[in-house]
Homo-oligomer: A and B are copies of this chain.
Amino acid sequence: MHFSERLDRLTSSLIRELLALTQQPDMISFAGGLPAARAMPPLGLAGVPETLRQYGTTDGEPELRATIARYLTGLGRSCTAEQVLITSGSQQGLDLVSKLFIDPGTTVAVEAPSYLAALQAFRFFGAEFLELPLGAGGLDPQQLRDAIRQRRPAFLYLIPTFQNPSGLCYDEATRAAVAEVLSESGVPLLEDEPYRELVYEPCDRTPICTRLADGAPWMVMGSFSKTGIPGLRIGYIAASSDIHPHLVRIKQCTDLHTNRIGQWWANQFMQSAGYLDHLDRLRDYYRAQRDAMQAGLQRYLADLATWQRPHGGLFFWITLNEAVDERELLQEVLARKVAFMPGGAFYATPPARQGRMRLNFSHSTPEQVDRGLRVLGDTVREHLGRHSRRHATTG
């Protein structure tokens, strides 16, 4: 059998292998990005109209598209329902955008680190990466300007609000400066916003696409998987009108349209009287989860690592004081029934022995967080001790 060249570029997904391991009932997993089932809204599918049984339109249910257009317009990204495409989860947006923009060898600009499933999707279609390191306020606008001049990427992929994996929220000045560079250069922006409603402290969250000059191309993706019900697989991508129609035609070729029950649910959810209260409860719940992890980190890893307490999202991004092989460390901690995500997985070009970890705080109970971090702290300490000894012996 002869498979496509594309298949060789499909690196095996560490997330997937880990999620398989975390199915074990006694595993404490900080590795995935699962929202907490106990904080999810109820399904409430009693009122689904029978008319939704029939095939639907590729773009999505008109009511949901209108609701999303109003939401984006409210954020400052003026947008009509006709510019919104409902996707089968936010991940599908990445597939559609890849299909639209990426040939083998096409340059895509990404943050370093960035969302690993996005890197995987872009690479699958043959992308070469232009990696832009994240600083305290986001990426460096001047570096972006220079990089665009030199390599002219097909688009820039950003997660400016509670970035995955770093937890970073771009500051206002950086948002404005990035928008300016994009407006000048005409490079399309793909802004991924899965976490924007999971906010625990006041901070600027104005989407960068709202700050672009008229005529600059943009795409913004959102999801109902973090605030609503991931099992329904409902996301969206809104785009400037020079991009949107292509995405719709590609979506048609990909899966005809997204399931209508989930779309109906998502629209009811956003329109419901209790929606804002639900978001408040969710934020309170996750804020407490974050604080429990912050406390645990201070208790068990304060002398071993540094981190920023994230203002939103679902992750802590930890840098160990000594560079270690994260995958080796992962093997050791998995043997003790604790999982984290090694930092290297989030780089298009993984740095060796970086000693970074992403820790999810949404899924585990505070007791599990405490126990898991204690095990993690012990394992890191033993790992370092062993390696220092080894170095001492061989050095």
Q: Is the CB–CB distance between B16 and A233 below 8 Å? A: no
Whether, in the assembled complex, A252 has its beta carbon less than 8 Å from a beta carbon of chain B, the answer is: yes
Q: Is the CB–CB distance between B95 and A254 below 8 Å? A: yes
Q: Is the CB–CB distance between A253 and B100 below 8 Å? A: no
Q: Is the CB–CB distance between B54 and A37 below 8 Å? A: yes
- Nearest-CB residue, chain B, relative to A102: B4
Q: Which chain B residues border A254 with CB–CB below 8 Å?
A: 91-92, 95, 254
Say how many copies of this protein the assembly contains: 2
Closest Cβ–Cβ distance, residue A38 to chain B (whole Å): 10
Whether, in the assembled complex, A58 has its beta carbon less than 8 Å from a beta carbon of chain B, the answer is: yes
Closest Cβ–Cβ distance, residue A155 to chain B (whole Å): 9
Of the stretches A40-48, A135-143, A302-310, A372-380, the one at the interface is: A40-48
Whether, in the assembled complex, A99 has its beta carbon less than 8 Å from a beta carbon of chain B, the answer is: yes
Q: Is the CB–CB distance between B249 and A261 below 8 Å? A: no
Of the stretches A5-13, A329-337, A346-354, the one at the interface is: A5-13
A255 and B230 in contact, given A4-B99, A103-B6 (Cβ under 8 angstroms) = no
Name A240-265 residues within 8 Å CB distance of B: 242-243, 246, 249-250, 252-262
Q: Is the CB–CB distance between B53 and A43 below 8 Å? A: yes
Q: Complex: how many Å from CA A261 to CA B2? A: 36
Whether, in the assembled complex, A71 has its beta carbon less than 8 Å from a beta carbon of chain B, the answer is: no
**Cross-interface CB contact of A249 among B12, B53, B92, cutoff 8 Å:** B12
List A residues at the B interface (Cβ < 8 Å). Answer: 1-7, 10, 12-13, 16, 19, 34-35, 37, 40, 42-43, 45-46, 48, 50-58, 87-89, 91-92, 95, 99-103, 106, 117, 120-121, 124-125, 154, 186, 188, 217, 225, 229-233, 242-243, 246, 249-250, 252-262
Query: Can you show 17 pairs from A to B with CB atoms below 8 A apart?
Result: A2-B101, A4-B100, A5-B103, A6-B100, A40-B54, A88-B233, A89-B256, A91-B254, A95-B254, A120-B253, A231-B259, A231-B260, A232-B261, A233-B258, A255-B255, A259-B262, A261-B261
